[in-house]
Protein backbone atom coordinates (compact mmCIF):
# COMPACT_ATOMS: atom_id res chain seq x y z
CA UNK A 1 0.00 0.00 0.00
CA UNK A 2 1.33 3.42 -1.00
CA UNK A 3 0.28 6.68 0.57
CA UNK A 4 0.13 8.96 -2.45
CA UNK A 5 -0.61 12.66 -2.87
CA UNK A 6 -2.50 13.91 -5.88
CA UNK A 7 -4.11 17.00 -7.38
CA UNK A 8 -7.79 16.21 -7.96
CA UNK A 9 -10.12 17.85 -10.47
CA UNK A 10 -13.49 18.62 -8.89
CA UNK A 11 -16.95 18.33 -10.38
CA UNK A 12 -18.08 21.82 -11.37
CA UNK A 13 -14.51 22.96 -12.08
CA UNK A 14 -12.37 25.24 -9.91
CA UNK A 15 -8.87 24.69 -8.58
CA UNK A 16 -7.37 21.21 -8.39
CA UNK A 17 -7.41 20.03 -4.78
CA UNK A 18 -4.23 18.58 -3.28
CA UNK A 19 -5.18 15.49 -1.28
CA UNK A 20 -3.49 12.40 0.11
CA UNK A 21 -4.98 9.13 -1.12
CA UNK A 22 -4.26 5.44 -0.68
CA UNK A 23 -3.12 3.66 -3.84
CA UNK A 24 -4.58 0.23 -4.42
CA UNK A 25 -2.01 -2.57 -4.52
CA UNK A 26 -1.03 -3.30 -8.15
CA UNK A 27 -2.85 -6.18 -9.88
CA UNK A 28 -0.58 -9.01 -11.13
CA UNK A 29 0.11 -7.23 -14.46
CA UNK A 30 0.30 -3.71 -12.99
CA UNK A 31 3.02 -1.56 -11.46
CA UNK A 32 3.18 1.43 -9.14
CA UNK A 33 5.12 4.31 -10.70
CA UNK A 34 6.62 7.15 -8.67
CA UNK A 35 6.09 10.23 -10.85
CA UNK A 36 9.23 12.19 -11.78
CA UNK A 37 7.56 14.60 -14.22
CA UNK A 38 4.16 15.18 -15.79
CA UNK A 39 3.44 17.52 -18.69
CA UNK A 40 0.49 19.90 -18.59
CA UNK A 41 -1.76 19.50 -21.64
CA UNK A 42 -4.70 21.53 -22.89
CA UNK A 43 -6.89 18.50 -22.24
CA UNK A 44 -6.15 18.89 -18.52
CA UNK A 45 -7.49 22.45 -18.66
CA UNK A 46 -10.72 21.26 -20.29
CA UNK A 47 -11.21 18.66 -17.55
CA UNK A 48 -10.16 21.02 -14.72
CA UNK A 49 -12.60 23.73 -15.83
CA UNK A 50 -15.42 21.22 -16.39
CA UNK A 51 -15.66 22.15 -20.08
CA UNK A 52 -15.14 18.48 -20.95
CA UNK A 53 -15.96 15.53 -18.68
CA UNK A 54 -13.29 12.87 -18.18
CA UNK A 55 -14.46 9.28 -18.64
CA UNK A 56 -13.77 8.51 -14.94
CA UNK A 57 -16.01 10.13 -12.36
CA UNK A 58 -14.71 13.20 -10.52
CA UNK A 59 -12.83 13.88 -8.34
CA UNK A 60 -9.98 12.57 -10.47
CA UNK A 61 -6.21 13.13 -10.48
CA UNK A 62 -5.39 14.70 -13.88
CA UNK A 63 -2.19 14.49 -15.95
CA UNK A 64 -1.32 12.10 -18.80
CA UNK A 65 2.24 12.96 -19.88
CA UNK A 66 4.24 11.00 -17.36
CA UNK A 67 7.73 9.66 -16.77
CA UNK A 68 8.62 7.95 -13.51
CA UNK A 69 10.22 5.01 -11.73
CA UNK A 70 8.66 1.64 -11.02
CA UNK A 71 8.51 1.27 -7.24
CA UNK A 72 6.25 -1.78 -6.90
CA UNK A 73 5.23 -4.49 -9.34
CA UNK A 74 2.60 -7.23 -9.50
CA UNK A 75 3.95 -10.78 -9.87
CA UNK A 76 3.24 -10.94 -13.62
CA UNK A 77 4.40 -7.38 -14.44
CA UNK A 78 6.81 -7.04 -17.36
CA UNK A 79 8.70 -4.05 -15.89
CA UNK A 80 11.05 -4.27 -12.92
CA UNK A 81 11.32 -2.21 -9.76
CA UNK A 82 13.78 0.65 -10.27
CA UNK A 83 13.24 0.99 -14.03
CA UNK A 84 12.57 4.42 -15.52
CA UNK A 85 9.48 4.34 -17.70
CA UNK A 86 7.43 6.54 -20.00
CA UNK A 87 3.69 6.00 -19.64
CA UNK A 88 1.90 6.26 -23.02
CA UNK A 89 -1.11 8.57 -22.74
CA UNK A 90 -3.26 5.94 -24.46
CA UNK A 91 -2.82 2.40 -23.14
CA UNK A 92 -4.95 -0.09 -25.13
CA UNK A 93 -6.19 -3.24 -23.40
CA UNK A 94 -4.28 -5.44 -25.88
CA UNK A 95 -7.01 -8.11 -25.98
CA UNK A 96 -10.16 -6.75 -27.66
CA UNK A 97 -11.13 -6.87 -31.33
CA UNK A 98 -9.76 -3.34 -31.88
CA UNK A 99 -6.40 -4.23 -30.34
CA UNK A 100 -6.20 -7.50 -32.29
CA UNK A 101 -6.88 -5.54 -35.49
CA UNK A 102 -3.93 -3.24 -34.74
CA UNK A 103 -6.28 -0.36 -33.87
CA UNK A 104 -5.43 0.00 -30.19
CA UNK A 105 -5.93 3.77 -30.44
CA UNK A 106 -9.65 3.14 -30.84
CA UNK A 107 -9.75 0.48 -28.07
CA UNK A 108 -12.90 1.11 -25.98
CA UNK A 109 -11.17 -0.43 -22.93
CA UNK A 110 -8.06 1.77 -23.20
CA UNK A 111 -6.69 3.40 -20.08
CA UNK A 112 -5.61 7.02 -20.19
CA UNK A 113 -4.15 8.45 -16.96
CA UNK A 114 -6.06 11.53 -15.85
CA UNK A 115 -9.08 10.41 -17.88
CA UNK A 116 -9.87 6.72 -17.23
CA UNK A 117 -7.62 6.27 -14.17
CA UNK A 118 -5.89 8.60 -11.68
CA UNK A 119 -3.13 10.45 -13.51
CA UNK A 120 0.30 11.96 -13.12
CA UNK A 121 -0.36 15.13 -11.11
CA UNK A 122 0.50 12.99 -8.14
CA UNK A 123 3.38 11.39 -6.30
CA UNK A 124 2.42 7.91 -7.58
CA UNK A 125 -0.02 6.12 -9.85
CA UNK A 126 -0.93 2.51 -10.70
CA UNK A 127 -0.74 1.53 -14.38
CA UNK A 128 -0.70 -1.63 -16.51
CA UNK A 129 2.90 -2.72 -17.07
CA UNK A 130 2.68 -4.03 -20.66
CA UNK A 131 2.35 -0.65 -22.47
CA UNK A 132 5.15 1.08 -20.51
CA UNK A 133 8.17 2.21 -22.50
CA UNK A 134 11.53 1.77 -20.74
CA UNK A 135 13.82 4.82 -20.67
CA UNK A 136 17.62 4.81 -20.60
CA UNK A 137 18.78 4.94 -16.96
CA UNK A 138 21.78 7.14 -17.89
CA UNK A 139 19.79 9.95 -19.47
CA UNK A 140 20.52 13.26 -17.66
CA UNK A 141 17.62 14.35 -15.46
CA UNK A 142 16.46 17.37 -17.56
CA UNK A 143 16.32 15.25 -20.73
CA UNK A 144 14.60 12.43 -18.84
CA UNK A 145 11.89 14.73 -17.46
CA UNK A 146 11.46 16.32 -20.90
CA UNK A 147 10.50 12.91 -22.30
CA UNK A 148 7.22 13.23 -20.37
CA UNK A 149 5.80 15.24 -23.30
CA UNK A 150 6.55 12.35 -25.65
CA UNK A 151 3.69 10.51 -23.89
CA UNK A 152 1.17 12.67 -25.73
CA UNK A 153 2.27 15.85 -27.52
CA UNK A 154 5.14 14.34 -29.51
CA UNK A 155 3.76 10.83 -30.05
CA UNK A 156 0.37 12.15 -31.17
CA UNK A 157 2.18 14.30 -33.74
CA UNK A 158 4.16 11.26 -34.91
CA UNK A 159 1.03 9.15 -35.28
CA UNK A 160 -0.65 11.93 -37.28
CA UNK A 161 2.34 11.98 -39.66
CA UNK A 162 2.19 8.18 -40.02
CA UNK A 163 -1.56 8.26 -40.66
CA UNK A 164 -1.10 10.86 -43.40
CA UNK A 165 1.75 8.79 -44.87
CA UNK A 166 3.80 11.97 -44.73
CA UNK A 167 7.10 11.63 -46.53
CA UNK A 168 9.89 13.38 -48.39
CA UNK A 169 8.68 15.80 -51.04
CA UNK A 170 5.23 16.28 -49.50
CA UNK A 171 3.95 19.72 -48.63
CA UNK A 172 2.84 19.65 -44.98
CA UNK A 173 0.58 22.43 -43.74
CA UNK A 174 0.39 22.51 -39.96
CA UNK A 175 -2.38 24.66 -38.53
CA UNK A 176 -1.59 25.56 -34.92
CA UNK A 177 2.15 25.60 -34.37
CA UNK A 178 2.33 25.26 -30.57
CA UNK A 179 2.18 22.03 -28.54
CA UNK A 180 1.39 19.02 -30.77
CA UNK A 181 1.59 21.21 -33.89
CA UNK A 182 5.02 22.55 -32.96
CA UNK A 183 6.39 19.03 -32.55
CA UNK A 184 4.68 18.03 -35.79
CA UNK A 185 6.60 20.81 -37.58
CA UNK A 186 9.86 19.20 -36.40
CA UNK A 187 8.68 15.70 -37.31
CA UNK A 188 7.51 16.77 -40.79
CA UNK A 189 10.86 18.46 -41.41
CA UNK A 190 12.68 15.32 -40.20
CA UNK A 191 10.63 13.28 -42.71
CA UNK A 192 11.74 15.59 -45.53
CA UNK A 193 8.50 17.48 -46.15
CA UNK A 194 8.24 21.13 -47.13
CA UNK A 195 6.63 22.61 -44.01
CA UNK A 196 4.18 25.52 -43.88
CA UNK A 197 3.36 26.42 -40.26
CA UNK A 198 0.24 28.48 -39.56
CA UNK A 199 -0.74 30.13 -36.31
CA UNK A 200 -2.44 33.17 -34.87
CA UNK A 201 0.76 34.04 -33.00
CA UNK A 202 3.58 35.64 -35.02
CA UNK A 203 6.19 35.12 -32.24
CA UNK A 204 5.32 31.41 -32.12
CA UNK A 205 5.82 31.16 -35.87
CA UNK A 206 9.10 33.00 -35.64
CA UNK A 207 10.33 30.50 -33.06
CA UNK A 208 9.23 27.42 -35.01
CA UNK A 209 10.98 28.72 -38.14
CA UNK A 210 14.26 27.79 -36.51
CA UNK A 211 12.98 24.22 -35.98
CA UNK A 212 11.93 23.16 -39.45
CA UNK A 213 9.18 25.44 -40.75
CA UNK A 214 10.13 26.49 -44.30
CA UNK A 215 7.26 28.97 -44.56
CA UNK A 216 4.89 30.52 -42.06
CA UNK A 217 1.42 32.02 -42.31
CA UNK A 218 -0.26 34.18 -39.69
CA UNK A 219 -3.95 33.27 -39.49
CA UNK A 220 -6.15 36.29 -38.93
CA UNK A 221 -9.76 35.63 -38.01
CA UNK A 222 -11.63 33.45 -40.46
CA UNK A 223 -10.08 34.80 -43.69
CA UNK A 224 -8.54 31.73 -45.30
CA UNK A 225 -7.83 33.22 -48.75
CA UNK A 226 -4.22 34.31 -48.18
CA UNK A 227 -3.35 30.88 -46.77
CA UNK A 228 -4.99 29.09 -49.70
CA UNK A 229 -3.01 31.24 -52.11
CA UNK A 230 0.24 30.53 -50.28
CA UNK A 231 -0.34 26.76 -50.23
CA UNK A 232 -1.30 26.68 -53.91
CA UNK A 233 1.89 28.61 -54.74
CA UNK A 234 4.02 26.24 -52.66
CA UNK A 235 2.60 23.20 -54.48
CA UNK A 236 3.07 24.84 -57.87
CA UNK A 237 6.64 25.93 -57.14
CA UNK A 238 7.52 22.30 -56.35
CA UNK A 239 5.52 20.85 -59.22
CA UNK A 240 3.37 19.03 -56.67
CA UNK A 241 -0.34 18.25 -56.70
CA UNK A 242 -3.01 17.75 -54.10
CA UNK A 243 -1.78 14.16 -53.79
CA UNK A 244 1.32 15.56 -52.09
CA UNK A 245 -0.60 17.92 -49.81
CA UNK A 246 -0.98 16.83 -46.18
CA UNK A 247 -2.90 19.25 -43.96
CA UNK A 248 -2.78 18.82 -40.18
CA UNK A 249 -5.28 20.67 -37.99
CA UNK A 250 -3.66 20.93 -34.56
CA UNK A 251 -5.14 24.16 -33.16
CA UNK A 252 -8.41 22.71 -31.92
CA UNK A 253 -9.98 26.09 -32.76
CA UNK A 254 -12.97 26.54 -35.10
CA UNK A 255 -11.02 29.06 -37.22
CA UNK A 256 -8.14 26.61 -37.52
CA UNK A 257 -10.52 23.78 -38.42
CA UNK A 258 -12.15 25.95 -41.07
CA UNK A 259 -8.77 26.94 -42.47
CA UNK A 260 -7.62 23.31 -42.61
CA UNK A 261 -10.85 22.21 -44.30
CA UNK A 262 -10.64 25.04 -46.82
CA UNK A 263 -7.24 23.76 -48.02
CA UNK A 264 -8.80 20.50 -49.19
CA UNK A 265 -8.14 19.90 -52.88
CA UNK A 266 -7.90 17.07 -55.43
CA UNK A 267 -6.65 13.95 -53.67
CA UNK A 268 -5.38 15.83 -50.59
CA UNK A 269 -5.17 14.38 -47.09
CA UNK A 270 -6.53 16.28 -44.07
CA UNK A 271 -5.76 15.09 -40.56
CA UNK A 272 -7.72 16.37 -37.58
CA UNK A 273 -5.63 16.33 -34.41
CA UNK A 274 -6.87 19.32 -32.36
CA UNK A 275 -10.01 19.16 -30.23
CA UNK A 276 -12.77 21.64 -29.55
CA UNK A 277 -16.34 21.33 -28.30
CA UNK A 278 -17.31 24.05 -30.81
CA UNK A 279 -19.03 23.09 -34.04
CA UNK A 280 -17.93 24.35 -37.43
CA UNK A 281 -19.87 24.60 -40.65
CA UNK A 282 -18.13 23.05 -43.66
CA UNK A 283 -19.17 21.92 -47.12
CA UNK A 284 -18.87 18.18 -46.56
CA UNK A 285 -19.28 17.54 -50.27
CA UNK A 286 -15.78 18.91 -50.92
CA UNK A 287 -14.57 15.58 -49.60
CA UNK A 288 -16.54 13.85 -52.34
CA UNK A 289 -15.84 16.35 -55.10
CA UNK A 290 -12.06 16.27 -54.52
CA UNK A 291 -11.88 12.54 -53.78
CA UNK A 292 -10.02 13.73 -50.70
CA UNK A 293 -9.21 11.96 -47.45
CA UNK A 294 -10.10 13.34 -44.02
CA UNK A 295 -8.91 11.43 -41.00
CA UNK A 296 -9.06 11.73 -37.23
CA UNK A 297 -6.27 10.52 -35.02
CA UNK A 298 -6.14 9.80 -31.29
CA UNK A 299 -2.99 8.95 -29.36
CA UNK A 300 -0.19 6.78 -30.69
CA UNK A 301 0.23 3.00 -30.76
CA UNK A 302 2.59 1.72 -28.08
CA UNK A 303 4.72 0.01 -30.79
CA UNK A 304 5.51 3.40 -32.36
CA UNK A 305 7.22 4.88 -29.28
CA UNK A 306 10.75 3.59 -29.96
CA UNK A 307 10.76 5.45 -33.31
CA UNK A 308 9.64 8.65 -31.61
CA UNK A 309 12.31 8.30 -28.91
CA UNK A 310 14.91 7.76 -31.65
CA UNK A 311 13.97 11.07 -33.28
CA UNK A 312 14.45 12.79 -29.92
CA UNK A 313 17.74 10.98 -29.27
CA UNK A 314 19.04 12.02 -32.70
CA UNK A 315 18.09 15.65 -32.00
CA UNK A 316 15.66 15.68 -34.93
CA UNK A 317 12.92 16.56 -32.50
CA UNK A 318 14.08 18.96 -29.82
CA UNK A 319 12.11 19.17 -26.61
CA UNK A 320 13.92 21.43 -24.17
CA UNK A 321 13.55 24.70 -26.15
CA UNK A 322 9.78 24.26 -25.92
CA UNK A 323 9.45 23.23 -22.27
CA UNK A 324 9.58 24.86 -18.87
CA UNK A 325 9.66 23.07 -15.54
CA UNK A 326 7.62 24.09 -12.50
CA UNK A 327 7.02 22.49 -9.11
CA UNK A 328 3.82 20.43 -9.17
CA UNK A 329 2.42 22.58 -6.35
CA UNK A 330 2.11 25.35 -8.95
CA UNK A 331 -0.28 23.32 -11.09
CA UNK A 332 -3.21 25.65 -10.44
CA UNK A 333 -1.18 28.76 -11.32
CA UNK A 334 -0.08 27.00 -14.50
CA UNK A 335 -3.68 26.13 -15.41
CA UNK A 336 -4.67 29.78 -14.82
CA UNK A 337 -1.83 30.94 -17.07
CA UNK A 338 -2.82 28.42 -19.73
CA UNK A 339 -6.39 29.70 -19.61
CA UNK A 340 -5.13 33.29 -19.93
CA UNK A 341 -2.85 32.28 -22.86
CA UNK A 342 0.20 33.62 -21.04
CA UNK A 343 2.25 30.40 -20.95
CA UNK A 344 5.40 30.74 -23.05
CA UNK A 345 6.22 27.04 -23.09
CA UNK A 346 4.71 23.63 -22.45
CA UNK A 347 4.85 23.14 -18.67
CA UNK A 348 6.43 20.05 -17.14
CA UNK A 349 5.43 19.65 -13.50
CA UNK A 350 7.83 18.05 -11.06
CA UNK A 351 6.55 16.57 -7.77
CA UNK A 352 8.31 17.99 -4.73
CA UNK A 353 8.09 14.97 -2.47
Report the interface residues with Zn ion, using CB under 5 A.
41, 43, 92-93, 96, 98-99, 107, 109, 152
CB nearer to Zn ion: pick between 62 and 235: 62
φ/ψ of residue 5, rounded to 5: -125, 135
Whether 166 and 240 have beta carbons less than 8 Å apart is answered as no
CB nearer to Zn ion: pick between 263 and 331: 331
CB nearer to Zn ion: pick between 126 and 273: 273
**CB of residue 40 vs Zn ion: minimum separation in angstroms?**
9
Torsion from C-alpha of 192, 194, 198, 203, nearest 10 degrees: 80
Whether 40 and 48 have beta carbons less than 8 Å apart is answered as no
Cα distances (angstroms) measured from residue 129 to each of 69, 154, 179, 296: 12, 21, 27, 28
**CB of residue 235 vs Zn ion: minimum separation in angstroms?**
32
CB nearer to Zn ion: pick between 16 and 107: 107
What span, in angstroms and rounded, lies between the C-alpha atoms of 154 and 133? Answer: 14
CB nearer to Zn ion: pick between 82 and 108: 108
Cα distances (angstroms) measured from residue 165 to each of 16, 159, 247, 255, 332: 40, 10, 11, 25, 39
CB nearer to Zn ion: pick between 43 and 262: 43
CB nearer to Zn ion: pick between 43 and 297: 43
**CB of residue 97 vs Zn ion: minimum separation in angstroms?**
8
**CB of residue 99 vs Zn ion: minimum separation in angstroms?**
3
What span, in angstroms and rounded, lies between the C-alpha atoms of 194 and 212? Answer: 9
CB nearer to Zn ion: pick between 2 and 98: 98
**CB of residue 104 vs Zn ion: minimum separation in angstroms?**
6
**CB of residue 92 vs Zn ion: minimum separation in angstroms?**
5
**CB of residue 54 vs Zn ion: minimum separation in angstroms?**
12
CB nearer to Zn ion: pick between 99 and 250: 99
**CB of residue 204 vs Zn ion: minimum separation in angstroms?**
18
**CB of residue 242 vs Zn ion: minimum separation in angstroms?**
31
Amino acid sequence: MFEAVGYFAQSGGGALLRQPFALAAPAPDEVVVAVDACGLCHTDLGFARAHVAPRHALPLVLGHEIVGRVVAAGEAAVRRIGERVLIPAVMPCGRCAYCRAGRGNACPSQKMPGNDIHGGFASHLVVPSAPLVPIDADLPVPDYRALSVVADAVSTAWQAALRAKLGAGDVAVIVGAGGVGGFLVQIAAALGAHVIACDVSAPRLEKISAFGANETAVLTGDDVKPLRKQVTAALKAREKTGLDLKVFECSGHPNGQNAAWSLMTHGSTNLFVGYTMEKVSVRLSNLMAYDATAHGTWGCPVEAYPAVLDLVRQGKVQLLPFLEEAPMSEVNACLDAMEAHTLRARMVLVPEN
